[in-house]
Amino acid sequence: MESNLEDIFWIEQILNGKTERFALLVNKYKDKVFSLARGILKNKEEAEDVAQEIFVKVFKALPKFKHKAKFSTWVYRIAYNECISHLRKQKISTVSVDHVSQNYMDTERNNTGNWQEAEFKSKMLHRALNHLPETDRGLVHFFYFDNLSVNEIAQITGLSVSNVKTKMFRIRKKLYEELQILTGKEMV
């Protein structure tokens, strides 16, 4: 609540012509926005370009911010939409778990790493996340990394609350299957 009041204060200053105050908002949200862009786009340089573009769009759209939601939610919404539309423009195809090729399964199943090692776990998790569609990666980022509520995620993505819950359930299931394939673990 206090964070949102602070944001509103800075926004009022910017809308009164003090453009340099925008740097404070950028500093506050740059890590979260960059992390989201990196999670969805995967490529670091691309994520940096898109993240910068997101902040320029946020600046231009500031007069349209009507305080109906938190400023952070509003920024996330712009960031999410920008990342998704950037990907769609490039027509990058992501591999869905349902269409994993046999070759991939054979090479990836031979991971002989130890599940007890944190590095191995982290590597496998990254691989599993990279195989989710971009929209699902966004949801995972909001839910697990940013600890946003289902309502906030619904506001950001434009989906209904029940839709977000259903998607999260399916994403968890896909991650289980993906991690099983990658690590060779079996369900009891």
Partner 1 sequence: MNTNPKLSEKEFDAEINKLIHNQEQEKAPAFFTENVMNRVRQEKPVINYHPVISKRAWFTIVIFVLAVAGYALTAPASSTNTRFTVPQFSTPLLLESINHWFGTVAAGGWQMIYSSGLLLPFAALFFALGLHFFIINGFNNSRKNKLDKMYCF
CA distance 15 to 24: 14
| Least spacing, CB of residue 172 vs partner 1, in Å | 7
| Residues with Cβ within 8 Å of residue 184, at least 6 apart in sequence | 109, 111
Using CB under 8 A, which residues numbered 24 to 63 contact partner 1? 26-27, 30-35, 38-39, 48, 51-52, 55-56, 59-60, 62-63
Nearer to partner 1 (CB atom), residue 100 or residue 179 = 179
**Selected range binding partner 1 among 67-75, 96-104, 120-128, 155-163, rule: CB under 8 A:** 120-128
DSSP 167: H
DSSP string, 77-96: HHHHHHHHHHHHHHT-----
- The gap from C-alpha 119 to its chain's centroid, in whole angstroms, comes to 22
- Give me the half-sphere count of Cα atoms (radius 13 Å) on the Cβ side of residue 122: 3
Q: Contacts with partner 1 in 71-110 (CB under 8 A)?
A: none
Q: Using CB under 8 A, which of 43, 145, 151, 162 touches partner 1?
A: 145
Cα gap 27→75, rounded to integer Å: 13
At 12 the three-state DSSP class reads: helix
Tell me if 122 contacts partner 1 by CB under 8 A.
yes
Instruction: State which residue, 34 or 156, has the beta carbon closest to partner 1.
Output: 34
Q: In this chain, which stretch among 21-29, 67-75, 92-100, 159-167 interacts with partner 1, using CB under 8 A?
A: 21-29
Q: Of 19, 90, 96, 151, which one interacts with partner 1 (CB under 8 A)?
A: 19
The type of residue at 140 is V
What's the first-to-final CA gap in the chain, in angstroms? 44
Q: Which of 3, 9, 95, 160 binds partner 1 (CB under 8 A)?
A: 9
Within 13 A of 89's CA, how many CA atoms are on the CB side?
8
Q: Which residues bind partner 1 (CB under 8 A)?
A: 6, 9-10, 14-17, 19-20, 22-23, 26-27, 30-35, 38-39, 48, 51-52, 55-56, 59-60, 62-63, 111-112, 114-115, 118, 121-122, 125, 140, 144-145, 172, 175-176, 179, 183-188
